[in-house]
Structure 1
Amino acid sequence: MENLTDTITEWLTLYGWKVVGAIATLIIGRIVIGILTGIVKRLMQKSKADETLVKFLVSLTKTALLAVLFIAVLEQLGVETTSFVAIIGAAGLAIGFALQGSLANFAAGIMLIIFRPFKAGDYVEAGGTSGVVESISIFNTILKTPDNKKVYVPNGSIMGGNITNYSAEDTRRVDLVFGIGYDDDIKKAKQILERLVQADSRVLKDPAPTVAVSELADSS
């Protein structure tokens, strides 16, 4: 019995304060993490950042701080963390190489959310696809095509090419091409088209519409 008591006393002497310190570190660390993530969230919301980006960065900040807290608790318990950190770093490097494409889409998604070349509801041409933007996520953007198809376009493809936003401006010019024969009267054709344009209430007066000959092709 005395040996057991001595063993418990020795264990408490060696590890008791370490356990108490680790628990205190864990509790205080969780409180500090909550405060810091709250500050990050408020600052980003005050800067009117996209809600998707706010949630992502808050989650990323919390995860990183929890990892640091976990290592601090292990050190408080007397666990050697140098090799542990090295293993995490090596694993992160291996995962990074394995997910190069996904990480590229991830980085492009953040850039899309920050710079906002388009928003949900815009009609765009990007990544080789044209359609109405339904949603923008971290890895891909969903476009709804005119023939009612839903296309998931990788964000890396969008940021790696040209982006045409047809909804960026309130007005947009529409080019209509009409063919006539060489025996037809060009002047009369222009007058007819001008009358039709002027009679259409949907056509803006400013800028004024233009009717002109674009080319003299081999046939009408």
Structure 2
Amino acid sequence: MTWTTLEGWAAHLHPDKWSGALIILMLFLLAGLLLSHLLKRTIRLVVARDHDNRLDRMSIGFLSKVASAFVWVLILMLYAHMIPALDKLATALLASVSVASVVFGLAAQSTLSNFVAGFSLIFYRPFRLGDKLQISAPTGVETGIVEDVSLGYTILQTYDNRRVIISNSSISSATMVNLSATERRTMAMIPISVGYDSDIDAARALILDVAAGIREIEDVVSCPVVNLGGSSVDFSLRVWCADSGVAAGVQNTVFEAVKKRFDAAGIEIPYAYQNILIKEVPAAPRREERGKTDRSGS
């Protein structure tokens, strides 16, 4: 390989030529991929060495995405600075940066709002990865485990393995219940009703006996009468469970067991019915009046 050949290759790499700009672009893309890979690998090694869980996994995941985006923005800026045509274009755009910033801000208002809201979630930390959240969604109240927090969205995994995707701006301004924030132990308050003719002491004793026989219940607190309804006496069975998921299953188990015990004991579970009160029964027409009506009709 002669010096003339090297000069020819160097001429092709000049950024003023399209071939040189394309080759430099490929080199910058490879550099960006390498830096992103090294960054992610370094973060994985740091997390793997954190055996005491002192690092917040959600913060690390979100900041790694931000760092990766910053790497690519830096790569593009350096590439634009090296290519004379793009550098001149960037200089011309800077002259109207105020107008461009306003237009860009209006166009990307929702995206920027989600991005800034992601930082607020990381800074204030109302929840972490793996926490169980209860939040209002278009499908109703959803309960799920925080699976991921990206630059724009938070992903919840529900009990039936669905993915509820909520924008960061929405979740940061919504009222949510963190079921894992302090203690996972949950009190289940199970409503049970009996008829007014039933013995409430016997009904309460049966309810407490049913609750004591369910192994998922850690502790039985009480079963007071909480309401005298239009057609029922309403109890509230209050028991402690390991977490909210167990509490939901316990409620179904208690309903079924109480129904069977009430049926066996002859205790009425009220249901909707109507009483019809007839104040006056109209008198039947006399025989001669019915005959006149029949003749006139014929």
Does the pair score TM above 0.5?
Answer: yes
1:149 aligns with: 162
Stretch moving more, 53-62 or 179-188: 53-62
Question: Aligned with 1:209: secondary structure?
Answer: strand
1:95 aligns with: 104
1:219 aligns with 2:231: yes
Aligned residue among 136, 143, 159 for 1:131: 143
Q: Distance in 2 between the 1:68 and 1:217 partners?
A: 71
1:204 aligns with 2:215: no
1:105 aligns with: 114
Aligned residue among 141, 158, 166 for 2:171: 158
2:257 aligns with: none
Q: Which amino acid aligns with 1:166?
A: L
Q: Is the 8 A contact 2:66 2:151 kept in 1?
A: no
Q: 1:213 Cα deviation (Å)?
A: 0.9
- Structure 1 residues 68 and 84, CA gap change in structure 2 (3 angstroms): same
Q: 1:167 Cα deviation (Å)?
A: 2.9
TM-score, normalized by length of structure 2? Answer: 0.49
Q: 1:52 Cα deviation (Å)?
A: 2.2
In the TM superposition, what whole-angstrom CA distance separates every residue of 1:52-93 from its partner, at most 9, and x where no partner exists? 22223424554666687679879xxx9798654233453333
Q: Distance in 2 between the 1:127 and 1:93 partners?
A: 33
- Structure 1 residues 136 and 127, CA gap change in structure 2 (3 angstroms): farther
Q: 1:181 Cα deviation (Å)?
A: 0.3
Q: 1:162 Cα deviation (Å)?
A: 0.4
Q: Distance in 2 between the 1:126 and 1:120 partners?
A: 15
Q: Distance in 1 between the 2:69 and 2:163 partners?
A: 29
Q: Is the 8 A contact 1:140 1:153 kept in 2?
A: yes
Question: Aligned with 1:162: secondary structure?
Answer: coil
Q: Distance in 1 between the 2:136 and 2:112 partners?
A: 17
Q: Which amino acid aligns with 1:102?
A: T
1:117 aligns with: 126
Q: Which amino acid aligns with 1:48?
A: L
Question: Aligned with 1:156: secondary structure?
Answer: helix
Q: 1:196 Cα deviation (Å)?
A: 2.2
Structure 1 gaps, min length 5? 1-29
Q: Distance in 2 between the 1:70 and 1:85 partners?
A: 17
Stretch moving more, 144-153 or 181-190: 144-153
Higher strand share: 2
1:48 aligns with 2:60: no
- Structure 1 residues 96 and 140, CA gap change in structure 2 (3 angstroms): same
The structure showing larger relative contact order (alpha-carbon pairs under 8 Å, at least 6 residues apart) is 1
Structure 2 gaps, min length 5? 1-30, 233-298
Q: Which amino acid aligns with 1:201?
A: R
1:18 aligns with: none
Q: 1:183 Cα deviation (Å)?
A: 0.5
Q: 1:180 Cα deviation (Å)?
A: 0.3
Q: Which amino acid aligns with 2:126?
A: P
In the TM superposition, what whole-angstrom CA distance separates every residue of 1:109-163 from its partner, at most 9, and x where no partner exists? 2222333323344332224241323322121122234444322211211111101
Larger CA Rg, structure 1 vs 2: 2
Q: Which amino acid aligns with 2:162?
A: K
